[in-house]
Amino acid sequence: MAKKQARTVSVMAEDPLWYKDAVIYELHIKSFFDSNNDGIGDIPGVIQKLDYLQELGVSAIWLLPFYPSPLLDDGYDIADYYNINAHYGTLSDFRRLLREAHRRGIRIITELVINHTSDQHKWFQRARRAKPGSVHRDYYVWTDKPEKYEDARIIFTDSEASNWSWDPVAGQYYWHRFYHHQPDLNFDNPRVCEEIFTVLDFWFEMGVDGMRLDAVPYLFEREDTNCENLPETHAFLKALRSRMDEKFPGRMLLAEANQWPEDAAAYFGDGDECHMCFHFPIMPRLFMALRTEDRFPVIDMLEQSMNIPENCQWGMFLRNHDELTLEMVTDQERDYMYRAYAQDPRARINVGIRRRLAPLLDNNR
């Protein structure tokens, strides 16, 4: 368990619904601004650019993962939830970022990547050596038979042939919904849930204003299901939200649920799960509408998205690091998007398109 940290002295003005009209700027520390000319962006560099971000009208900054990591998935493979990647700075630098951002009326949103860890995380290294069936072994999901949960789709189809990988140290297969170096945590183990609660406490006590919950639909596994959007996941989120509301009122949880509106909206619960949810289906339809010069794809999706709790909000985005994913379109719409924006096969990755905005739009201003 982490040591209790002193709270950041700065306090934002009380507005429990601040996220409903927030202008959120996503940035990756390593590529944003380099303050010491070592070729890597850093936290002091972000601090130097806070006035610039304030002038843009930004009211919240969303920081991609900044934790110690092997960086095989751009930091989403976390090796330590309680520290800062040394290339980016220190915990002291991060506390100063919080103070300086808050002084300018800018909130800070960080990543809570809870579905999986890096295989270098001490929990996994301990689990693979622990006795099968023990509490520590069961921090992750293991099996002797990789046919288990066969109805779950493979997400990274370009690089993974299975959701199971063999671990020679453990002598069993472990479950991973993403890359094989990112074993999934086992949320059926109460100790894992307590670990995640403690991580949340650590960063909120420091002064973080919100957390993006990465890959939240995949927390639990059940046979004869697709292992997505399960009731157990929503029960866990309600417990997480209840704890947060009790200890840290005014903070925010943002769900990354790449799902159709009906399934994504479920992560609002009755206003007692996540405060916000990214609206993945709207993003490709913005580009579709632009190319077809027809607003229908956007209007149609918005009309499917209106019925959400009063205290909740969709996170609408044109660009973020997940675009241009085409998971939440029909097969016909995906074929159209490939023809319109990615005729070169090299511009396609997994179920989506990887191109910068200018070439995506034919450099047409």
Q: What is the CATH number of the domain that holds 168?
A: 3.90.400.10
Residue 181 forms part of a structural domain:
no
State the Cα angle at 320 between 120 and 70, rounded to 5°. 15
- For 104-136, the pLDDT digits (tens) are 999 999 999 999 999 999 999 999 999 999 999
- 165 and 314 assigned to the same domain: no
- Report CA 39 to chain centroid distance, whole Å: 26
Q: What token pair was written down for 218?
A: 């995949």
Question: CATH number for the domain including 207?
Answer: 3.20.20.80
What are the b/e assignments for 141-176, b being 16+ CB within 10 Å?
bbeeebebbeebeebbeeebeebbbebeebebbbbb
Residue-level length of the chain: 365
Q: What is the per-residue pLDDT for 359?
A: 85
Quick check: is 11 in a domain? no
Q: Is 365 helix (H, G, I), strand (E, B) or coil?
A: coil
Are 244 and 351 members of one domain? yes
pTM, full prediction: 0.91
Domain hosting residue 137, numbered range: 122-175
What letter does residue 221 receive in the DSSP assignment? -
Question: For residue 35, what are the CA distances in angstroms to 44, 55, 74, 88, 311?
Answer: 6, 20, 21, 10, 39
The answer to whether residue 7 is domain-embedded is: no
Helix and strand counts by DSSP (H, E) for the chain: 12, 10
Number of structural domains in the chain = 2
- Asked if residue 251 and residue 151 are part of one domain, the reply reads no
Single-letter amino acid code for the residue at 6: A
Residues 104 and 251 in one domain: yes
Task: Choose among 67, 12, 70: nearest CA to 202.
Answer: 67
Q: Is 269 inside a domain boundary?
A: yes
Cβ-contact 33, 46 below 8 angstroms: yes
Nearest to 48 by CA among 107, 11, 101, 106: 101
Contact 222, 230 (CB under 8 A): yes
Residue 269 and residue 216: Cα distance in Å, rounded?
A: 13
**Are 256 and 293 within one domain?**
yes
Domain membership flag for residue 8: no
Distance set, CA 356 to CA 80, 278, 333 (Å): 31, 21, 20
In a domain, 182, yes or no: no
In a domain, 257, yes or no: yes
Q: Is there a domain that residue 3 lies in?
A: no
10-residue mean pLDDT series, the chain (365 residues): 50 83 96 96 98 97 98 96 98 98 97 96 98 97 96 92 98 98 98 97 97 95 96 97 96 92 93 95 92 94 93 88 82 92 88 85 84
Per-residue confidence (pLDDT) for residue 349, from 0 to 100: 84
Clarify whether residues 168 and 259 are in a common domain: no
DSSP string, 14-46: P-TTGGGG--EEEE-HHHH--SSSSSS--HHHH
Q: Are residues 342 and 214 in the same domain?
A: yes
**What tokens were used for 134?**
């023990």
Asked if residue 111 and residue 85 are part of one domain, the reply reads: yes
Q: Strands across the sheet with 313-315, in order? A: 24-27, 60-63, 107-113, 210-214, 252-255, 276-278, 313-315
**Catalytic sites, residue numbers:** 214, 256
Please give the C-alpha separations between residue 169 and each of 35, 129, 283, in angstroms, as whole numbers: 42, 7, 43
Residues 326, 281 within the same domain: yes
Q: How many C-beta atoms surround the C-beta of residue 183 within 10 A? A: 28
Letter for the amino acid at 21? D
- Same-domain pairing of 145 and 280: no
If 0-12 CB within 10 Å is exposed, 13-18 middle and 19+ buried, where does residue 37 land? Answer: exposed
Residue 9: what pLDDT?
44
How far apart, in Å, do the first and last CA atoms of the chain sit?
52
Identify whether residues 164 and 213 lie together within a single domain.
Answer: no
Tell me which residue of 280, 359, 285, 289 sits closest to 317, measured CA to CA.
280
Distance CA 157, CA 146 (A): 17
State whether 168 and 199 are in the same domain: no
DSSP secondary-structure letter at 342? -
What is the layout of strands, in order, in the sheet containing 142-143? 142-143, 172-175, 164-167
